[in-house]
Chain A
Amino acid sequence: MRSPALSRRALLTGAGAVLAVAVTGCAKKSGDAGSFPSKTLQLMAPAKPGGGWDQTARALQKALTEAKLAANGVEVYNVEGAAGTLGLAQLATKNKGDAHQLMVMGLVMVGGVVTNKSPVTLDQTTPIATLTAEQEVIVVPKDSPYQDLAALMNAAKTAPASVNWGGGSAGGTDQILIGLLAKAAGADPKAMKYVAYSGGGESKAALLAGDLTAAVSGVGEYADLVTAGEVRALAVSGAAAPAKLPSAPTIKAAGFDVELMNWRGLASPPGLKDDEKAAVVGLVDKLHASPQWQQTLTDQGWEDFYKSGEDAKAFFTAETQRIKAVLTEIGLA
């Protein structure tokens, strides 16, 4: 950890240098050969600055640097577009065989590959790890007649037109969860009336204004409103209640066999040699074990969701199959 005084001085110099557009510091540290990473790690956030993947990428950058796991530094760059599938295409084609390239990805990309009919799929990458995950929560307004998930799903099954579901973009995690729920409840996933919004904020406003019967989003989005009693959480999508909503029942406990985590992970380009892949996985294993990364998880309120190497590969494949199936039933694939 840097001392506050030092970082403040660094900040002042930094600011001064922006002003002067100083031409300094172009010398590059040479890496020690043999050990990985032997040059600067390039970390792609396949979304615009400020979004979830970007935050993950920058947190990784910070933790890798502070844990002294990347002697030659880590660079984050953004490739925006099409639920991350543009970044995926770039990784699979342009960066083939480059072990120093990594891409942040996650469940949203799995869905994006299906709904966008992306020519490049996750099979064409080298899966490295899953890192974090957030549970989804299903909420209703505080004066809603639905007291539990079973009642809501019963209405959705018998009179689907009477339930307005709301959440993020079409084919995203929120709609996937509704599809999975509908299937588990014996309702027609295609008949679910889903109103898509461009962000959690917009659907939140619509729920509070009374446009929606129920909304689905990440736990972090609604935790505060639930605690304040403005909305009621009917269920969360993980295996156990998350720290932010300790009293919420899981979907399984509410009687439906559905579990869905909005996870984020890392993938490498295709064409890595076995020892290179092992080196990347080893680096991420070390990062995961580092106190710096654990501190990041605590600071950001992210749940630890770690699988690496072969586990990650198997998990990517299983998720792809499950998501593809449900999106097909909703009619989006």
Chain B
Amino acid sequence: MSVWSDLLSGFGTVLSPENLLYAAIGVTVGTFVGVLPGIGPALTIALLLPITFSLDSPTGAFIMFAGIYYGAMYGGSTTSILLNTPGESSSVASAIEGYQMARRGRAKAALATAAIGSFVAATISTIGLTLFAKPLAGLAVQFKAQDYFALAVLAMMSVTALVGRSLVRGVLSLTLGLFIGLVGLDGLTGQARFTFGSMELFEGVSIVIVIVGLFAVGESLHVAARLKRLPETVAPLGASGEKWMTREDWRRSWMPWLRGTAVGFPFGALPAGGADIPTFLSYTFEKHRSKHKAEFGKGAIEGVAGPEAANNAAFSGVLIPLLTLGIPTSATAAVMLASFQGFNIQPGPQLFEKSGPIVWALIASLYIGNLMLLVLNLPLIKMWVQVLKIPRPSLYAGILVFATIGVYAVSGSVVQVLIAYGVGALGFVMRRFDFPIAPVILGVILGPMMELQFRRTLLVSNGDLTVFFTRPLTAVLLGLAVFALILPYLPRLIARLRGRTAQRLAFGEDD
């Protein structure tokens, strides 16, 4: 088959001691920059891109680039897990269970399942990319505005599990996220909304600022408020001779890895997909399916394994519209597009014909970068968990410094730094009063997508609402959304229909 021979020649170009060295440098530098809170993969790549440009061959640059990418992703997950300070929306889901695992002395297992899960997912999805890039490219442009709207509604309804213990508090968190998403100039008309006369708010509050504020700053303030009640160390390390993952961990991780991959890859391939929504979907899915439901919220390994796999699988998916149509669907992809152009490579339908060898070299680089990550980072886990030994005052002072640099470096504006601190104060209040954080992120991501696609649909259809029901794809997605909404209540509804006294159905109770 030609795909395999192409790939093989790609490996031929890539496999040289020199290139392996580039991969190793890329992975290491990417990891170290990626661990800084507030500096996620997209920014890491943007920052390190100039280094790749200084290489003489595009192949060397690509392989280093793949290394930087995987390193940055993994670095971001590391801080999410160890310190509850994710740097990008796609690592928020793994922070939920990962941080709880770290608090209970299982940091090594969490980091290991993240690293191995990333490897498994990236490998499978890169194979998927190799085989299905062309057919899936066609799928991506089947989605019209109303389908995106329906997809956003479906995603929103599917992740209700993130709402947490109380419906009222969960919805309030979600509303806060939706509100933050509204701030700025309206994407369709340019009308200013909730900007209160300040031009600093015209482009809205960036998701990075929301995440850095809610997590890094909010967590630091929360720690400050509990100094006297917290134990001496940040979290126990676990026994030093302990294995990364126990047999039980493996048994509980491998299915979430595969399921996360299955969710992440196709989602990434949709324009406007990106990696964040599938990580939340994977988290919810694992929570629903798990035999260890009670452990969720207290450090269930499935809740790290699934989202981490989805996150990495989504990346290969994101490459499909990027390579075949030149459509970047995530911040990281947009940065990659810029870098391709720096090498005079124009992604698009002709890419495989015009620059075939180099694309196959890129795909081969992904395999190698991915392998290099596993090889380098599994042994490094021992070192990363040492971060937890840093005395608390120094650790959180450092987190605040890096959070500030992260925001300042992207925006160049003290006002944005102050906005991040303000969001941090909100995060503190939310932690104190037990409001869940994840719905805020969800609202910021899904709210604008729902609103803009809904209005685009109406604009295109000249105000005709029936397009939401007459198009089969849209109708199916909306139907699934309704199903996802009632699913958790289904057992009780059935019980009621059968005439048994329903248990408490009071508003806001747990299920």
Please, how many residues of chain B have a CB less than 8 angstroms from a CB on the other chain? 60
Q: Could you tell me the distance between the alpha carbons of A10 and B50 in the complex, rounded to whole angstroms? A: 12
A3: nearest chain-B partner, CB-CB: B56
B137: nearest chain-A partner, CB-CB: A208
CB neighbours of B413 from chain A (8 A)? 79-81, 86
Tell yes or no: B144 within 8 A of A by CB.
yes
Q: Could you tell me the distance between the alpha carbons of A201 and B187 in the complex, rounded to whole angstroms? A: 15
Q: Could you tell me the distance between the alpha carbons of A221 and B334 in the complex, rounded to whole angstroms? A: 13
Tell yes or no: A34 within 8 A of B by CB.
no
Q: Is the CB of A89 within 8 A of B190?
A: no
Given contacts A83-B202, A195-B456, A201-B326, 17 further A-B contacts (CB under 8 A): A11-B51, A19-B29, A49-B46, A80-B203, A82-B200, A170-B187, A199-B334, A201-B337, A202-B271, A202-B327, A208-B141, A211-B460, A220-B346, A228-B350, A230-B349, A300-B342, A301-B344
Tell yes or no: B348 within 8 A of A by CB.
yes
Most buried by A among B186, B411, B412, B413: B412
Using A115-B190, A211-B456 as known contacts, say yes or no to A224 and B412 having CB atoms under 8 A apart. Answer: no
- Binary CB contact string for chain A from 15 to 49 against chain B (1 if under 8 A, 0 otherwise): 10011000000000000000000000000100011
Tell yes or no: B410 within 8 A of A by CB.
yes
Tell yes or no: B145 within 8 A of A by CB.
yes
A interface residues, Cβ below 8 angstroms from B: 2, 4, 7-8, 10-12, 14-15, 18-19, 44, 48-50, 55, 58, 77-83, 85-87, 89, 115-116, 118, 161, 164, 169-171, 193, 195-199, 201-202, 204-206, 208-212, 220-221, 223-225, 227-228, 230, 299-301, 332
CB neighbours of B43 from chain A (8 A)? 49
CB neighbours of A169 from chain B (8 A)? 187, 190
List 6 A-B pairs, minimum CB-CB distance, nearest first.
Answer: A224-B348, A170-B190, A208-B141, A4-B56, A82-B202, A228-B349
A213: nearest chain-B partner, CB-CB: B460
- Interchain residue pairs with CB less than 8 A apart (18): A8-B54, A19-B28, A49-B410, A80-B410, A81-B200, A81-B203, A86-B202, A164-B459, A169-B187, A170-B186, A196-B190, A197-B187, A199-B334, A202-B272, A205-B143, A206-B456, A223-B346, A332-B190
Minimum Cβ distance to chain B for residue A330 (Å): 10
Q: Is the CB of A18 within 8 A of B29?
A: yes
Tell yes or no: B240 within 8 A of A by CB.
no
Q: Could you tell me the distance between the alpha carbons of A44 and B411 in the complex, rounded to whole angstroms? A: 12
- Binary CB contact string for chain B from 333 to 358 against chain A (1 if under 8 A, 0 otherwise): 01101100110101111110000000
CB neighbours of B459 from chain A (8 A)? 164, 193, 195
Tell yes or no: B502 within 8 A of A by CB.
no
- Report B441-484 residues with CB < 8 Å from chain A CB: 456, 459-460, 462
Q: Is the CB of B411 within 8 A of A78?
A: yes
CB neighbours of B410 from chain A (8 A)? 48-49, 78, 80
